[in-house]
Chain A
C-alpha cells in the first residue's frame, strides 16, 4: 500500500509541473509588461531601464524565466501583493482555512445526503422515491450556485430573517462563538452542498445499480444474509469505487462553486481574494491563488487515488 501511495505521488508531481507550465505560459503570452510604466516615464534613463530588465531577468529566454519562477515558487517566495502590502503566502494562509472549512462542510453535507438517497433509490429502482430523487437531482445540478445563493438569501434572510447573509469575523469565544460560526456558515454550506449532492446522488445510484445485479450479490442473498448486510457490506463497498473517481473529477467544479458562494456571502476565503485581486489588478496574488486551486485539485485527486487503493486492494498491487 505504501508503495502504491508513493507511486501515485510520483504521478502527481508531473501533473503539478504541467499545471505550473500552463499557468506560466498564459502569463508570458498575456499582453502587458511589468515595466511598461517605467518605459513611458521620462525620468528613468534608458540605461537604467535596461539594467533593471537585466536584473529581473526579463530579457532571458522563456525557459530560463520559467525555471527561475518555478524555483521561487518551490522556495515559498510567492511575491508581494501590490494592494495589501504583505507577502502573498501570508495573505493566502490567512484566507485558506475559511475556504477549506466551507468546502469541507459542504462535501460532508453532500455525502450525507447523496449516499443514503442514492443507495435507497437504487434498491427500489423506478419506484416513486427513485423518480422523485432523480427529478430533484436533475433540477439540483441544473440550478447554478449563484441563483440558489440568491434564492436562499431572499427566503432565509430577507423574508424570514433567520440567518445572516454576510459572513463576518465573529468576535468572542466559547460556545456562543461556535454557534455563531455555524449559524453564518449554514447558507453557504447548503448552497454548495446541495449542488454537489445532486450530481453525487446520480453517481451513487447508477454505480449501485451496476453492482446490485452481479452474481455475487445473488450468492450473498442465497446464503441467507439480510438485505441491510448485503447492501452495506457487499454492494456499497464495490459501488463506491467509481463514485470516488467521479467525485474527484468534480473537484474543479466544486472550487468554481466555492468562488461564487464566497462572493455571494462575502466569505473571506481565497475565492473572494481571487476576485478582489483581479478587480484590483494584483497580478502576483491572482497567479498564486490560481496555483493554490490547482494544487488543491491535484491533492484531492491524490486522496481519491489512495481511497481507490483502499476500496479495491487489487489496484494497489498492480
Chain B
C-alpha cells in the first residue's frame, strides 16, 4: 500500500532500516494518547465478549425468580434482572451480537460507498451526476424513521426465511449499512476526482492500463486512508443504531440480549434496579467512545498532509 508515497520521499525517516508506510502510520498513531488507550480498551472488550463464555460459565438464560433484581454481588458481578438472569452473562452474549452488527454494517456501508464513489469519480458523463444526486437524496432521508419502517415492513419475511435471529441480523446489518454509505461515497468520489488527474495515474494510462486496473492498482490504494477513518467511525454509528432499534423494542427479539435490548428491558425498573440499565449503557458508551477515539487517532496516522 502506498497511500503515503508522497511522504516517504520527503521524510528523513525513509533512510531508516525496515521502513514501511504502515510502521510510519503506527508511529504517528502512538502519539495520540487517548487513541492508544482506546485501542487497548476496545481489544479488552472484544476479548471479553469472545472469550467470556469460556471463563464466566453462568448461563445467560437460566431463570431464577427468587434471585431476581439483585444488585452486584460476588455470585452475580453485574447483578440480576427481574427474572434472575445473570446480567454479566447476558451482556457477554449480547455484546457479541452488538459488536458483530457494528462490524458487518460498516463493511456493507464501506463496500457500497466505495463502489458508488468510485463509479461517480471515474465517470465523466451523466452517470456521475446521477449518482451524486442519489447520494444527496439519501443524505436528506430521515434515517431512523426509515430504518424503523424498513424493519417493520420486512421483519416477518426475513424471519420466515432465515430464522428469528439470523433474519433480524441480516435485515439490521443491510438496512443500517444501506443507509450509511453516503459519507464514504462522497469521500471516495472527492479522492478519485483529484487522484485520477495525477501524473502516476496518467503514466499508468499511457502504458495502456485498463480503467479497472487504474482504479484497483493505482487509485484505490491511494484513496484508502479516508475510507479507513470513515469506516471506523461507521462502526460506532452502527452500534448506536442497532442499540437504538433494540432500545425502541424493534431490534432483536427478547431472547437475544443485545446491549440495547437489555436497556429496553431495564428502563421500566430504574427505581428498583438501576444497575440493570447502567452496565449495558456503560458498555455501549465505552465501545462508542473508544471507536471514535481510534478514528481520531487514525486520522492523525493516515492523513499524510498532517505533520506530527
Contacts and interface: CB of A to CB of B under 8 A. Distances in A.
B243 A146 contact: yes
Given A158-B274, A278-B250, A146 B142 contact: no
A75 B233 CA distance: 42
Interface of A: 15, 18-19, 22-23, 26-27, 30-32, 138-139, 141-144, 146-147, 150-151, 153-154, 158, 249, 252-253, 255-256, 259-260, 263-264, 274-275, 278-279, 281, 286-287, 289-290, 293-294, 296-298, 301
Given A15-B137, A31-B156, A252-B142, A150 B248 contact: no
Contact of B148 (A30, A32, A141, A278): A278
Interface magnitude class on chain B: 35 or more
Contacts of B240: 144
Interface in B216-244: 236, 240, 243-244
Of B248, B263, B271, the most chain A CB neighbours within 10 A belong to: B248
A158 B273 CA distance: 11
Nearest to B290: A142
Given A144-B244, A260-B247, 4 more contacts: A31-B153, A150-B281, A154-B270, A286-B152
B202 interface: no
Given A142-B292, A146-B247, A150-B281, A249 B139 contact: yes
A249 B141 CA distance: 10
A143 B115 CA distance: 31
Nearest to B151: A278
A31 B161 CA distance: 12
Interface string B142-172: 1111101110111011000000000000000
Contacts of A286: 148-149, 152
B292 A252 contact: no
B211 to A, nearest CB: 29
B64 to A, nearest CB: 25
B232 to A, nearest CB: 13
Chain B interface helix/strand/loop/mixed: helix
Contacts of B285: 142-144, 147
Contacts, number: 131
The 8 closest A-B pairs by CB, nearest first: A256-B144, A30-B153, A293-B142, A31-B157, A147-B281, A142-B289, A290-B145, A293-B145
Contacts of A23: 146, 149
Contact of B143 (A18, A138, A256, A275): A256
Interface of B: 133, 136-137, 139-146, 148-150, 152-154, 156-157, 236, 240, 243-244, 247-250, 260, 263, 267, 270-271, 274, 277-278, 281, 284-285, 288-289, 292-293, 296
A50 to B, nearest CB: 25
Given A31-B156, A142-B236, A144-B243, A264 B141 contact: no
A287 B145 contact: no
Contacts of A19: 137, 140-141
A146 B150 CA distance: 21
A199 B292 CA distance: 13
A18 B137 contact: yes
A279 B251 CA distance: 12
Contacts of A30: 153-154, 157
Given A144-B240, A144-B284, A153-B270, A301 B140 contact: yes
A140 B146 CA distance: 25
A290 B145 CA distance: 6
